[in-house]
Amino acid sequence: MNESIGQPAAKAGVGGAVAEKTVGVMLGFVRSEGRSGTVGALIDRTRGTEAAIAAASSGSGLGRVMSVGTGLTALGPGMDEIESIAGELLRVFLDKIGADRMGKIIAGTPGLGQFA
């Protein structure tokens, strides 16, 4: 997994395939629920995002999980770890695309503001 994508999970103490799938589920949610133009810029500017999204959906059935929270906790991390990963991931993205674009993504994605 790319360092900029894996670093948030590592800071939360989550590693390996669980980390990659956790980040992938989060990214997949943002891509499917956020404003496509600004999210597209985020995905394009951060190496490893497409691979993480693909890893989260391949073979796990997570693409069909009704609740992102349920899907994430099914992978193993607790809510504290999930919140930590999400917060760190948002900081990585803020560095990549800037405050204006990140603000639009947060505002346009349901539930994402709680991690900012």
Closest Cα to residue 26, out of 98, 97, 101, 77? Answer: 77
CB contact set of 75 (below 8 Å; sequence gap of 6+): 18, 21, 22, 25, 62
Tokens representing 110? Answer: 């349901």
For 6-55, what is each residue's pLDDT tens digit? 777 777 777 777 777 878 888 888 888 777 777 877 787 777 888 888 87
pTM, two decimals, is 0.72
Distances 76 to 4, 19, 56, 73 between C-alpha atoms, Å: 21, 9, 13, 5
Query: For 67-115, what is each residue's pLDDT tens digit?
Result: 576 777 777 788 888 888 888 888 888 888 889 988 988 888 888 888 8
**C-alpha distances out from residue 37 to 26, 33, 43, 63, Å:** 18, 12, 10, 21
